[in-house]
Chains A and B, each alone.
Chain A
């Protein structure tokens, strides 16, 4: 069967691709578009390593067919830094050593960015609940939470 043509926007750029209808958005990002920042962890929506935004809303790209992206705006980890200048969330994760293996990190950064755009001044509890779907097997989460609180503070200019 021939593929389906999809027109979408990824990180602000108009993108077109042809995919099979069974392919997830994560498959297409990684295997057809070379955007390998989003990771495949569980493929069941539990781990959050594949997190992207769809029209600004945080989503597991493994739980979405690539054809569903037609006409929507996708945001991935590749669009977070401004060229070689890291986003404050990325910088704070480095500063706090809030990663070890790094597989969860792109998903965490995308999730935190979505949180801080919605709620620039979250409590620690709000951060922990928001990130409940981003599993990390290395850090024990504490450093991630500290990095997020610090990044939020810096982004508020305080």
Chain B
């Protein structure tokens, strides 16, 4: 295994492009190191991106925030303005692993690993986040929901790196939230995860909503029908019932040791209601 730690993204792209063997990008390393040490993968090349300054910062942009691909989840939690604007995304990122893991792990890594139960991804999907990808053929932007194509498999092509994730500006009276179900209180993998972002008009009617749903399908889902259940309503009990039904209907889960199909389907609806209430509360403040 070779290790490279370039200080520009162009150098990183060139190094990756020149590698014929198995190459991996190293950001926090909290998944990659486990994979390497357990012989799940044997990379010929590891490219550490943490020396690339442009990928280490959280930068205001057009009223939103651009989060560099090497920014740790803990750094997101320490950024007061980001927490104020996108509390749901930050709370999701801060659920990943332990304190130790959060100090290294990155939200971009969580996205690129394409785990169906990745905590930060439903929240990013709800937030309409955009991933900026750089590769041998230049730069491109994609909605984060287009990143995972299968468990553990992303839509990135050879030599591409996610340079940053952009969280857009949001109107007044907007709020977002993320909750997951786990059988213990911390340090576990989501059985179901739900992220919701919504916007209200001056009369308290929901004008815009996005619902991201995790751990109940091969990839994280954007659930349009669940969002439609909220839009045009005051997010009252009737709307929440429709939200729960639409969210449960979107589930295509598997049975595994963490939860049955029936349990996951039911819990997805219950969680969606709770998340919508938190997002509503935040939008009203």
Contact = CB atoms under 8 A, between A and B. Distances in A.
Interface stretch (B26-34, B134-142, B151-159, B223-231): B26-34
Contacts of B187: 46, 132-133
Contact of A67 (B3, B28, B74, B99): B3
Interface residues of A, number: 31
Interface string B98-128: 1111011000000000000000000000000
Contact of A64 (B2, B33, B186): B33
Interface stretch (A55-63, A77-85, A136-144): A55-63
B257 interface: no
A45 B31 CA distance: 9
Interface in B134-187: 185-187
Contact of A57 (B2, B103, B186): B103
Nearest to B184: A132
Contacts of B46: 21, 65
Contacts of A114: 99
Given A22-B1, A22-B36, A68-B50, A58 B29 contact: no
Contacts of B99: 58, 111, 114-115, 129-133
Contacts of A65: 3, 26, 29, 33, 46, 48
A45 B1 contact: no
Given A21-B1, A68-B48, A62 B33 contact: yes
A70 interface: yes
Interface of B: 1-3, 5, 26, 28-30, 33-34, 36-38, 46, 48, 50, 72, 74, 97-101, 103-104, 185-187
Interface of A: 4, 21-22, 24, 43-46, 48, 51, 54, 57-60, 62-65, 67-68, 70, 111, 114-115, 129-134
